[in-house]
Structure 1
Amino acid sequence: MSANVAYLHAPDAAAPALFEPDTSNPHIARAAGLRDRFAEDAIARDQAGGRPAEQIRLLKEHGLLTLLLPREYGGQGESWSTVLRIVRLFAQVDGSLGHLFGYHYSSLLSPRLRRAPEQAASLWRRSAEGNWFWGNTANSFSKSLFGRRDGEHFVLDGYRPFTSGSHVADFLAIAWEDADTNERRFAAIPADRAGIVIEDDWDGIGQRQTGSGRVSYHGVRVHESEVLGPPVPLDPTGAPAEPWRSVTPLQQQSVLLNVFVGTAQGALRAGREYTVNQSRPWVHSGVERHVDDPWVKRQYGELWVRTRAATALADRALAALDHVAARGEALTADERGAAAVAIAAANVLAGEVALQVSSEIFELTGARSAVRQYGLDRFWRNARIHTLHNPSEYKTRNVGRWVLGEGHPQPGTFQ
């Protein structure tokens, strides 16, 4: 292990282990071990960007890509809460991997929500057998990919932006607009299909290895047997009538909020360990050790309390999403709405806390910590770019409307 990251894993023996998981679940135990492996080069990978190919290989090797699949299709039959606790673990050291891991499952489960149960069963069996990693090119707001009918095929031309995971995917969940009717269609196809160009041009300030750039389509042929369900007319909400068909946003929002939670936890862990092992007291503090400064003690106490509160609210949201998943097609509008409120509330706090912790740790670690070799800036950059994609203002308003008796949020792209 290189010296510039050793402090992240060698805290003082008397220090508490902050935000360590319950490893009684063997999948979470394996993920905790992987987190520590990912941490070894997380700083270098963040600075380089590109593809986390070796990390995806390790996810496959450790059997973590089929957790949510039913056992009859080759999966482990685990809950969303297991997957999202793993998202947190990975985000403690690498927000990109937390993001990719969670979005893999949202894409993998999407065929079941498109009125295509037989196709879903076949895709899930094949995915489990092939140990596929899933990405997506189904951005909801980009009307930039169009398909036209050609016999038994649709021919796709255009592009999609924000295609997280496409650069390391075996299979893609895709969506396009019909060139004639403007209806939206969905499909699942191999990532190496002829005519698909993974541009891999993501250049954001954070989440550097998510591959959230552009995928271009040049005469890509999609057979009608690969199309998932009937076309969906586009409307202002983009939501189908049945509650069960509108749970994808809840899944995706849950991934984001747990990336936030893990980022806050990771920033606090890394900042605390640097402070204990390397920080020097301020010249006017009157103490010999930085950790003895009352200001430092109070500030770390406050950040821990805020992070713990965000974690607790996120745990409540986990339970809400597990309930939604367990209800399946019997899910009611009220049940879906209650989950939407719980997830939105957790998302708001988690994003705010991730930004606060990842910024304020620099005040506590000191000037010598603000150099590239320590990589502490990655936590703030990851949190900042994610919160920009999903402004908390609108989630907070939705919760406020519910508090004032105006009902649950209407299903839509982000809620």
Structure 2
Amino acid sequence: MTSFGPDLNDPLVARAVKLREAFHTDAVARDKAGGRPTEQIRLLKESGLLSAGIPAAYGGGGAPWLSLLRVVREFARTDGSLAHLFGYHHLPVHTVRARGTPAQQARLLGTAAAQQWLWSNSGNALSKTSGAQRAPGGDGWLLSGFRPFSSGTHVADVIQVAWENELGQRLTGVVPADRAGIRIENDWDGIGQRQTGSGTVTFDNVLVRDDELLGRPDDVLTPFASLVTLLQQSVLLNVFVGAAQGALDEGSAYTASQSRPWIHSGVERHVDDPWVQRKYGELAIRTLAATELADQAARALDEIYAHGPALTPEQRGAAAVEIAAANLYAGETGLAVSSEIFEVMGARSATNANGFDRFWRNVRTHTLHNPAEYKKRTVGTWLLTGEFPAPAIYR
């Protein structure tokens, strides 16, 4: 274990550590297989962590984002897919809190806490669902078409769906994952995040009742509702940091027990090579810095989230800059650490059986959805002009 030990004084993190140890036993094999992490989702439900972020008024744990995101990070130390599924589970929960009526919040969040629902979404904002029309009788919509990148739908209890009306306005609703007409295509074939089920969901006249709609299509996007994008970025950056920590965990253990000294090093043990020592020191320092930035960003998120619907654009904007900086640095650190550990582990480490490459593949897959260039511009624009990023996809 490296010096990036989890905060076991936090009961959520302590539970996550036990789960992470269970997930680790077959993490490499499941990464190769892809598909559904059915047993792991069962363990996650049993742990009670799925309701940890739901307000106590509805039967949940009312946990802060700092704790929830540290759980994401802990899972990512061995399994980026489960970290992703757990983190993204909280995005629809936030949408219900931000856009649902009091009755919807009580019904949906209360049931979710009692039954340990796993939430997912099939509403990728960069694609549109065609064929939506009002249901006969006027109660609800019939949804046809498809959405890609529908992470978690293959193991979810409920799905947040989105579509466009005849005016091109976006609508959002929540439906049971087994609603008639929903087909999970199971066509996700990414090089990383192999068990997230981030493929296509097809809709064939899927009924979304009016009482399942969240908000109205002409509602003004409030700063609080727009936090969903910052939550997404926060989940991803903690997947990146957790991957860096996990790569160091496994890489340093392998180096100490398996790696052989280079023939020209002049040392008998690989760990005594100054090059190896310097490289691990460099990677550890970068990971420590990324971890600190991640915690700082999570605390900023907790601070603004407490304002609820009263959140101002300026408060949101300041946190968006912090989260962008943390996301950028976490992604670059995750890529560097998960790649460069191979240099000091040696040629025998690069086998499929070891599975060390899963960390790099997971980080690489997610960072492609979130180009570093635009995060740098966000931070640079703020530094030069004081202008905060306007709420939008990925910021």
TM-score range, shorter chain: over 0.9
Aligned partner of 1:291 among 265, 271, 285:
271
Runs (5+) with no aligned partner, structure 2: none
1:164-203 paired onto structure 2 within 5 Å = 164-178=151-165, 180-203=166-189
Query: Is the CA contact (8 Å cut-off) linking 2:129 and 2:162 kept in structure 1?
Result: no
Deviations 1:30-70 (A, max 9, x none): 11011111011000000000001111100111111001111
Task: Tell me the CA shift for residue 25 of structure 1.
Answer: 1.6
TM-score by length of 1: 0.93
Task: Measure the CA separation in 1 of the matches of 2:303 and 2:128.
Answer: 33
Query: Is the CA contact (8 Å cut-off) linking 1:137 and 1:162 kept in structure 2?
Result: yes
Aligned partner of 1:211 among 197, 200, 219:
197
Aligned partner of 2:87 among 81, 95, 102:
102
Letter in 1 for 2:49: L
1:49-68 paired onto structure 2 within 5 Å = 49-68=34-53
Deviations 1:277-297 (A, max 9, x none): 100011111110000000000
Is 1:398 aligned to residue 370 of structure 2?
A: no
Letter in 2 for 1:217: F
1:375-390 paired onto structure 2 within 5 Å = 375-390=355-370
Task: Measure the CA separation in 2 of the matches of 1:109 and 1:409.
Answer: 21
Deviations 1:150-169 (A, max 9, x none): 22120000000000100000
Task: Measure the CA separation in 2 of the matches of 1:232 and 1:210.
Answer: 32
1:188-337 paired onto structure 2 within 5 Å = 188-232=174-218, 240-337=220-317
Task: Tell me the CA shift for residue 270 of structure 1.
Answer: 0.8
Letter in 2 for 1:124: L
Task: Measure the CA separation in 1 of the matches of 2:223 and 2:368.
Answer: 27
Task: Measure the CA separation in 1 of the matches of 2:313 and 2:10.
Answer: 32
Query: Is the CA contact (8 Å cut-off) linking 1:28 and 1:86 kept in structure 2?
Result: yes
Is 1:26 aligned to residue 11 of structure 2?
A: yes
TM-score by length of 2: 0.98
Task: Measure the CA separation in 2 of the matches of 1:413 and 1:121.
Answer: 28
Deviations 1:259-288 (A, max 9, x none): 000011111111101000100011111110
Task: Tell me the CA shift for residue 18 of structure 1.
Answer: 2.8
Aligned to 1:141: 126
Letter in 2 for 1:170: D
Percent identity over the alignment? 57
Task: Report how many residues are paired.
Answer: 393
Task: Measure the CA separation in 2 of the matches of 1:212 and 1:275.
Answer: 34
Aligned to 2:64: 79
Is 1:160 aligned to residue 147 of structure 2?
A: yes
Is 1:356 aligned to residue 336 of structure 2?
A: yes
Runs (5+) with no aligned partner, structure 1: 1-15, 234-239
Letter in 2 for 1:177: E
Aligned to 2:353: 373
Aligned to 1:407: 387
Task: Tell me the CA shift for residue 109 of structure 1.
Answer: 2.2
Task: Tell me the CA shift for residue 356 of structure 1.
Answer: 0.2
Aligned to 1:119: 104
Query: Is the CA contact (8 Å cut-off) linking 1:51 and 1:211 kept in structure 2?
Result: yes
Letter in 1 for 2:280: Y
Task: Measure the CA separation in 2 of the matches of 1:296 and 1:114.
Answer: 52
Aligned to 1:9: none
Letter in 2 for 1:400: G
Query: Is the CA contact (8 Å cut-off) linking 1:317 and 1:342 kept in structure 2?
Result: yes
Deviations 1:67-100 (A, max 9, x none): 1111121101111111100000000000001110
Coordinate RMSD, CA, aligned: 1.1
Task: Measure the CA separation in 1 of the matches of 2:129 and 2:263.
Answer: 58
Task: Measure the CA separation in 2 of the matches of 1:212 and 1:123.
Answer: 24
Letter in 2 for 1:212: S
Deviations 1:370-408 (A, max 9, x none): 000100000000010110011010011011000002410
